[in-house]
Structure 1
Amino acid sequence: MAQESLRLVSHPIAAHDGRLPRHYTLEGQGAKKDISPPLEWYGVPDGTRSLALVVQDIDAPDPEGPIGLPEGFSGKESTAGRKFGGIQESVNDWKQPGWRGHIPTSRGHHIQLKLYALDDEVHLGNKARHHRVATFELGLVTKDKLMEAIEGHVLGEAELTAVF
């Protein structure tokens, strides 16, 4: 039997026809704002030892040039990392760990969530914790550094794009 391909799913995004609901952005209201969307993945390849998740606004200008995760997941809470298999977060563009909602300057931006199944753990140095790293809008540890670290270790990848 052939193994299923790695898939990444977010039911709230799918329920909104591929649009990112407001409460996952800085435009949400009260407690329903700036929280990460729930994510599920299926078909993790045999031999996977860790997963890396990169979230980026692919329409944003480049700053140097032109299991699953529940809604509101935060590895900052000491029990959350243990409860979800030791998942830890890197820093974002605000130099803080975890999700920060998007607030692009205009509508129509595409928020890309890309999941990588890896045959090894990722070690990114002191600025990012390792072991099943979930990376959100990489800041101090750049996306380029992550991509370099996982080169040759990717067993599968899945992508989900939401429109803001």
Structure 2
Amino acid sequence: MANAGEEFRLVSPGIEHDGRLPRKYTDEGQGAKKNISPPLEWYNVPEGAKSLALVVEDIDAPDPEGPIVPWTIWVVSNIPPSLKGLPEGFSGKETAEGNIKEGHNDEKVPGWRAPKMPSHGHRFEFKLYALDDEPHLGNKVTKEKLLDSIQGHVIGEAVFMVHF
């Protein structure tokens, strides 16, 4: 748990902050090595956190109907605050760690899905929420359900940005 004054931080050993998302984590990866979730590590989890939740979005996704609408790439909830991160390729694997749940992304499937991009230069935002409660989301977790359920329970946020 964090000491006062230490920033709640999210990093990826596989990606530099504001760096490029390596191809193997996208739908453009070589061979079978694609759609592997990147490794994540976090530091200084706020005191009193009972669970963590992660939302990854393409915040520059164009909507043919109008303005830019964030595209959900990955949702993970009920992460125990005792964990120090998620290893590369965590998505889609059964875990013995508590009852971590992977939510449905905007491709309507659970897990990590970095879409094939019509153009590059998009920003992907990884946002980790520290919560003073453990959300109860039922079987089908979505970003909307998660964000609704954590209102009033967020005691810290850590953000990590990469470019695609």
- TM-score with structure 1 length normalisation? 0.80
Contact 1:3 1:43 in 2 (8 A): no
Q: SS of the residue aligned with 2:24?
A: helix
Structure 2 vs 1, CA of residues 56 and 151 (structure 1 numbering), >3 Å: closer, same or farther?
Answer: same
Q: SS of the residue aligned with 2:14?
A: helix
Aligned-pair CA distance for 1:85 = 3.9
> Aligned pair count?
146
Q: What stretches of structure 1 move > 3 A for 4+ residues in a row?
A: 62-65
Task: Give % identity.
Answer: 64
Equivalent-residue separation in structure 2 for 1:65 and 1:116 (angstroms): 29
Equivalent-residue separation in structure 2 for 1:154 and 1:124 (angstroms): 16
Greater shift after overlay, 113-122 or 2-11?
A: 2-11
Aligned-pair CA distance for 1:31 = 2.6
1:14 equivalent among 16, 27, 33: 16
Equivalent-residue separation in structure 2 for 1:122 and 1:86 (angstroms): 11
Structure 2 vs 1, CA of residues 13 and 77 (structure 1 numbering), >3 Å: closer, same or farther?
Answer: closer
Q: SS of the residue aligned with 1:72?
A: coil
Structure 2 vs 1, CA of residues 155 and 62 (structure 1 numbering), >3 Å: closer, same or farther?
Answer: farther
Any gaps of 5 or more consecutive residues in structure 1? Answer: 129-140
Cα RMSD (Å): 2.1
Equivalent-residue separation in structure 1 for 2:62 and 2:130 (angstroms): 27
AA of the residue aligned to 1:11: P
Aligned-pair CA distance for 1:4 = 1.7
AA of the residue aligned to 1:51: L
What is the aligned partner in structure 1 of residue 113 from structure 2? 100
What is the aligned partner in structure 1 of residue 122 from structure 2? 109
What is the aligned partner in structure 1 of residue 41 from structure 2? 40
Q: Does structure 1 residue 157 correspond to structure 2 residue 160? A: no
Any gaps of 5 or more consecutive residues in structure 2? Answer: 68-83
